[in-house]
Structure 1
Amino acid sequence: MATLLAGMGVVAVTNAEAAAGCKVVYSVPSQWQGGFTGNVAVTNLGDPVSGWRLTWAFPSGQTVTQAWNATVTTSGSQVTATNASYNANIATNGTVSFGFNGSWTGSNTAPTSFALNGVTCTGGTATTTTTTTTTPPPTDDAMAATAAMQPGWNLGNSLDATGSDETSWGNPRVTAALLDNIRAQGFNSIRIPVTWGQHQGPAPGYTIDPAYMARVKEVVDWALADGFYVMVNIHHDSWQWIANMPADRAGVLARYNAAWTQIATTFRDSSPKLVLESVNEPQFSNSSGAAQNAELLHELNTSFHGIVRRSGGANATRLLVLPTLHTSADQARIDELTTTLTALKDPRIIATVHFYGYWPFSVNVAGGTRFDAVAQKDLTDSFDRVHDSLVAKGIPVIIGEYGLLGFDRHTGTIQQGEKLKFFEFLGHYARAKKITTMLWDNGQHFGRTSFQWSDPELFAQIKSSWTTRSGTASSDQVFSARSSAITDKSLTLNLNGTSFLGLRHGTTDLVRGTDYTVTGDQLTITASAITRLSGSRAYGTNATLSARFSQGVPWRINLITHDTPVLQNATGTTSAFAIPTAFRGDQLATMEAKYADGSNAGPHNWTSYKEFDRAFAPNYTTNVTTLTSDFFAEVADGARVTLTFHYWSGAKVTYHVTRTGTSVTGTTS
């Protein structure tokens, strides 16, 4: 770590209006060949600032390629950062922070002089650089190494694809540039799932194609060169052929052992920051029950452990990761894994589970539209079990995959604000329980060639959760019916240990007491403010507000004008049926389906609330609501089904569909 300290005196510049002075802390938390991440914290030592501009010069010709929490522009070596809409004001002794990704050649010398709104910051400029590629990992301590792996990211649907090539599931070939850019986002570890079976030869050798092994090693070596901790496993083989172990115990074990013998040999001398995981989401088909499942997984885990340890080199002490059955956090599954860990007596083992949330919320079925108390308790119960059974006893834990199952289709399956609350709380609670997390990304989050987040707001919340809490609210939507007079609207603030600072529209602070009031945890936006900000009141979002808190990211609130959606009669088939829908500014939350006798219709017939996207899906561009073939596949022929569409405004609209063979008729009454 290199540290440069400038003079610590405060210089006050006096003019007709204000005194000025500032201090800047510039840090480089990660650096790799040709790139780096920079963080800048600016403390205002003078009178309050409303709107700021920070300037500096890079000594070594570095350039800024991407920034967050500020707009950063460059002209030659000169750099200018200006405030975002939500952090324009800096109180006396207040601090704002922003970050950026940059590139460098030759050297990455830190700047030594900064100016805030034209005034040189001489109140102390501290510069620290930590080059992660040269910092020795704490591999002598499994708990410390696991903590250093936080946060982690999954390179999903690439080398784990079950086709003939890593592109067979739609992602491009992995590049070193992709890994460089993921490292720049602040991730310290990367899980590289690998499916080996389609690249293995026949018995008895089960030889892995040398070209494929070399490709996996190439990607692993790129990641290690970037300073990542890297986890490699046996992935979809778990359900492709390992699951057949109850029927072919000897054959499956021979193939599994052959695979790990070759993998262990290949990576025998790799950096100790390479971590090996025995198998992903282990499962067994047609077993006799829980006891046999536990026995088979114990055999796989212990066999893997012995093969890797006996292969020598760095593998003799390499960190190894062992999963529970199905990577479940259920107590019985944790207890089964604990039995294996006790038998192995190896302090260099990490336990792993996966977490995709409370299932009805995770896929949006059975009315699970919100991250409510039930969904939150599912999370806390899971993390508490893992902590109390493993972490508290000195066994480190990695959540090797986390996310929401609805993301497998697209991230819009779960409403945005509810999604943000889930990830905010998950990051917080994982930190509290000392559990390392690895975000599952099959290409839907970080663009594999664009190197941009598909949902920057989501990633900002995830990244913030790694270090602090953010305030949220009961909703990110405030609906006002155009057919009615505008009234005051209230939201419940979830402060999460923060303090509420204020409400802002763009760069303008709204006036407390006039535009909004706060009583306890109730934020009320006044009718006069909604009227002014809604303008002509076109259907949809008329204005976006930012609720700002003392830490974390702001909470976005959309002011929406709506009226009850209007549906029309329609005809179609079981494979192509769409209801013309004038959404009129509203958005669909869920749909119920019942027969005339009140029983539940369609798939998941234990609930009247159907699965979003699987059974139905709104399209706000084409103004239709589609009922899928999956839905009609489980609707009785000739029966009339009453649908109830629930919208986020609280509106409900009923509709009727009748299936006759493959023909479908839909009516509004």
Structure 2
Amino acid sequence: MKFRILYNSLALLIAVILCISCKKDKTAAPAQLAVSPSEVLFTTDGGLSEITITSNTKWNISNTASWCTATASVTEGNGKITLNAQSNTDTSERSVVITVSAGSTLKEIKVRQSGKTNTYNIPPDSTGMGSTAVQLAAKFKLGINIGNTLEAIGGETAWGNPPVTQALIDKYKQAGFTAVRIPCSWDQYADQTTGKISDQWLDRVKQVVQYCVNDGLYVVLNIHWDGGWLENNITTSAQASVNAKQKTYWGQIATAMRDFDEHVMFASANEPSASDATAMNVLLSYHQTFVDAVRSTGGHNVYRVLIVQGPSTNIDYTSNLMNTLPADPTPNRTMVEVHYYEPFQFTALSDDASWGNMFYYWGQNYHSTIEPTRNATWGEEDFVLSAFPKMKAKFVDKGIPVIVGEYGAYRRTTPLDMDKHQASVDHWITFVTQQEIANGLKPFWWDTGGMIDRNNYTVKDQRSLDAIMLGGQ
């Protein structure tokens, strides 16, 4: 009996010790807390922004702002905080620091909202702006890009091209092009605190646009890759800050270019990285901000044709996902943009890759018997014939023009069957150009100086130029 009592007492003691030990283990881990993003910028209109909380314990929110609510999905462990900012009717920017705490660990979320501004607005002016998007699209046929120049990170000449001149634009017109796309960078020329774009840069871009208008050419001016601030951030977490920057930049760009007539079109972005419905909704908000910002500047911009990009400017994504266009108070002034470089292994791949090797020969009648491993295995004529009708049915047939803002196939020096390779490139260019036009699309060749010499304005690649013009007949 004594042994049983002793045994039971010993067992109880061990249990107590283990319990205390477990409690010590549970309380020993330090509180972990992280917030992302830690800074949010809302436009004047307000909206929603989502904050991700990563934690291993309970946490609390401290918020003193009445204009911005912070609602938590949970208050322990990993969770989300939804910020909801009301519209700001004041002209001053406002801000609040929202604190998230877990024990003695504190994290701050800095929230800012732009003030209301009416400084851009002037009365609408329809002079020289009479064409709808469909009517305007009928006025140009073949376009060319001034690639790797005004969008170059580091400055206009940073990627090896000289400054754009009137003589270069004159050459484009002489060669047979009726439209010019100007890829352009803005973020590197802007104050990152205020968003103010350099007046000197705005004037320089305006000068290049004027060169084109001087020759009666139609112009597409965009915000290009620009460091990826929009293109690589088609996400709900970045949505508020990207929309704020989109509004700030397009307000300034549109104001600077406002006096140009309908020869000048604006394009919201370049190749926005979106491939699902969630990203498409975010992208639509960026396009809506673009439309609203341009229209609010008044004057000719109330009637200007505006171009919005499909998700990733991919034809299939655009066909499947782009089921809504941004609302526009001015009807029938919207175009859609896609790009075409298929199959990339033939058009532009410069080295064999893990996912596929380069193709040197393209088209049913252009395969090589000398180098058969380099023949295209997909993306040939049947692929082209199935691609462009998707844009025709989705948009063109409904009165929404589509531009192919970039397309191209480029010549290599390494093929063993060089005559067949050259003929393949010729065939791709002519066939693709023909099919784009046949389906009501407006093609813009991507050129970085390989076809038209930027220094002496001579034609460096006559075969490609001839193939484009043949396709445009």
Q: How does 1:11-160 map to 2 (within 5 A)?
A: 139-160=130-151
TM-score normalised by L of structure 2: 0.64
Structure 1 position 366, deviation (Å): 3.7
Helix, strand or coil at the partner of 1:264:
helix
Q: 1:302 aligns with which of 274, 280, 288?
A: 288
Q: Find the counterpart in structure 2 of residue 443 from structure 1.
A: 449
Structure 1 position 235, deviation (Å): 0.2
- The 1-side partners of 2:218 and 2:358 are apart by 39
1:266 counterpart = 2:253: no
1:191 counterpart = 2:177: no
- The 2-side partners of 1:139 and 1:186 are apart by 25
Gaps of 5+ in 1: 1-135, 468-669
CA contact (8 A) 1:194 1:235 kept: yes
Q: Find the counterpart in structure 1 of residue 156 from structure 2.
A: 166
Structure 1 position 139, deviation (Å): 4.5
Q: How does 1:402-551 map to 2 (within 5 A)?
A: 402-404=407-409, 415-467=421-473
- The 1-side partners of 2:295 and 2:212 are apart by 23
Q: Find the counterpart in structure 1 of residue 273 from structure 2.
A: 283
Give deviations 1:200-249, integer Å, cap 9, x for gaps: 1022x201011111100111111111111111000012724552352432
User: Could you say which structure has the higher helix fraction?
Assistant: 2
Structure 1 position 346, deviation (Å): 3.0
Q: 1:370 aligns with which of 361, 364, 373?
A: 361
- The 1-side partners of 2:318 and 2:395 are apart by 12
Q: Find the counterpart in structure 1 of residue 333 from structure 2.
A: 348
Q: Find the counterpart in structure 1 of residue 73 from structure 2.
A: none
Structure 1 position 184, deviation (Å): 1.1
**Structure 2 counterpart of 1:230, which letter?**
V
CA contact (8 A) 1:158 1:171 kept: yes
Gaps of 5+ in 2: 1-126, 350-355, 365-377
**Structure 2 counterpart of 1:465, which letter?**
G
Helix, strand or coil at the partner of 1:282:
coil
1:231 counterpart = 2:220: yes
Helix, strand or coil at the partner of 1:379:
helix
Give the number of equivalent residue pairs.
322
**Structure 1 counterpart of 2:454, which letter?**
R
CA contact (8 A) 1:138 1:144 kept: no
Give deviations 1:552-610, integer Å, cap 9, x for gaps: xxxxxxxxxxxxxxxxxxxxxxxxxxxxxxxxxxxxxxxxxxxxxxxxxxxxxxxxxxx
**Structure 1 counterpart of 2:458, which letter?**
Q
Q: Find the counterpart in structure 2 of residue 564 from structure 1.
A: none
Helix, strand or coil at the partner of 2:221:
strand
Q: Find the counterpart in structure 2 of residue 325 from structure 1.
A: 311
Q: 2:195 aligns with which of 199, 202, 206?
A: 206
Q: Find the counterpart in structure 1 of residue 346 from structure 2.
A: 361
- The 1-side partners of 2:460 and 2:405 are apart by 22
**Structure 2 counterpart of 1:227, which letter?**
G
CA contact (8 A) 1:147 1:435 kept: no
- The 2-side partners of 1:138 and 1:432 are apart by 27
Assess, with a 3 A threshold, how the Cα gap between structure 1 residues 412 and 144 changes in structure 2: closer, same or farther.
Answer: farther
Give deviations 1:343-369, integer Å, cap 9, x for gaps: 878311011100112233224654633
CA contact (8 A) 2:310 2:338 kept: yes
Structure 1 position 342, deviation (Å): 7.2
Helix, strand or coil at the partner of 1:452:
coil
Structure 1 position 138, deviation (Å): 8.3
Q: Find the counterpart in structure 1 of residue 87 from structure 2.
A: none
- The 2-side partners of 1:336 and 1:303 are apart by 19
CA contact (8 A) 2:291 2:328 kept: no
- The 1-side partners of 2:192 and 2:234 are apart by 17
Q: 1:257 aligns with which of 247, 250, 268?
A: 247
Assess, with a 3 A threshold, how the Cα gap between structure 1 residues 428 and 248 changes in structure 2: closer, same or farther.
Answer: closer
Q: Find the counterpart in structure 2 of residue 382 from structure 1.
A: 387
Give deviations 1:437-468, integer Å, cap 9, x for gaps: 1111011111012212212122112112211x
- The 2-side partners of 1:298 and 1:318 are apart by 19
Structure 1 position 412, deviation (Å): 6.8
CA contact (8 A) 1:147 1:436 kept: no
- The 1-side partners of 2:245 and 2:264 are apart by 23
- The 2-side partners of 1:363 and 1:186 are apart by 24
Helix, strand or coil at the partner of 1:443:
coil
- The 2-side partners of 1:398 and 1:423 are apart by 16
Q: Find the counterpart in structure 2 of residue 396 from structure 1.
A: 401
Structure 1 position 398, deviation (Å): 0.7
Helix, strand or coil at the partner of 2:323:
helix
Helix, strand or coil at the partner of 1:339:
coil
Helix, strand or coil at the partner of 1:254:
helix
- The 1-side partners of 2:401 and 2:382 are apart by 22
Helix, strand or coil at the partner of 2:336:
strand
- The 1-side partners of 2:357 and 2:184 are apart by 34
Among all aligned residue pairs of Structure 1 and Structure 2, give the percentage whose two residues are the same amino acid. Answer: 30
Q: Find the counterpart in structure 2 of residue 338 from structure 1.
A: 323
Assess, with a 3 A threshold, how the Cα gap between structure 1 residues 463 and 137 changes in structure 2: closer, same or farther.
Answer: farther
Aligned Cα RMSD in Å?
2.3
Q: Find the counterpart in structure 1 of residue 36 from structure 2.
A: none
Give deviations 1:298-332, integer Å, cap 9, x for gaps: 000011011111211010000100110111101x4
Assess, with a 3 A threshold, how the Cα gap between structure 1 residues 349 and 180 changes in structure 2: closer, same or farther.
Answer: same
- The 2-side partners of 1:345 and 1:291 are apart by 26
CA contact (8 A) 2:181 2:220 kept: yes
- The 2-side partners of 1:223 and 1:302 are apart by 28
Structure 1 position 191, deviation (Å): 0.6
- The 2-side partners of 1:354 and 1:184 are apart by 25
**Structure 1 counterpart of 2:469, which letter?**
K
Assess, with a 3 A threshold, how the Cα gap between structure 1 residues 211 and 342 changes in structure 2: closer, same or farther.
Answer: closer
Assess, with a 3 A threshold, how the Cα gap between structure 1 residues 392 and 212 changes in structure 2: closer, same or farther.
Answer: same
**Structure 1 counterpart of 2:321, which letter?**
E
CA contact (8 A) 2:230 2:272 kept: no
Q: Find the counterpart in structure 2 of residue 179 from structure 1.
A: 169
Assess, with a 3 A threshold, how the Cα gap between structure 1 residues 384 and 345 changes in structure 2: closer, same or farther.
Answer: farther
Structure 1 position 433, deviation (Å): 1.0
**Runs (4+) off by over 6 Å:** 342-345, 411-414
Assess, with a 3 A threshold, how the Cα gap between structure 1 residues 182 and 302 changes in structure 2: closer, same or farther.
Answer: same
Helix, strand or coil at the partner of 2:455:
coil
**Structure 2 counterpart of 1:310, which letter?**
S
CA contact (8 A) 1:238 1:283 kept: no
Q: Find the counterpart in structure 2 of residue 558 from structure 1.
A: none
User: RCO higher in 1 or 2 (8 Å CA, sep ≥ 6)?
Assistant: 2
Helix, strand or coil at the partner of 1:194:
coil
Give deviations 1:12-64, integer Å, cap 9, x for gaps: xxxxxxxxxxxxxxxxxxxxxxxxxxxxxxxxxxxxxxxxxxxxxxxxxxxxx
- The 1-side partners of 2:348 and 2:203 are apart by 38
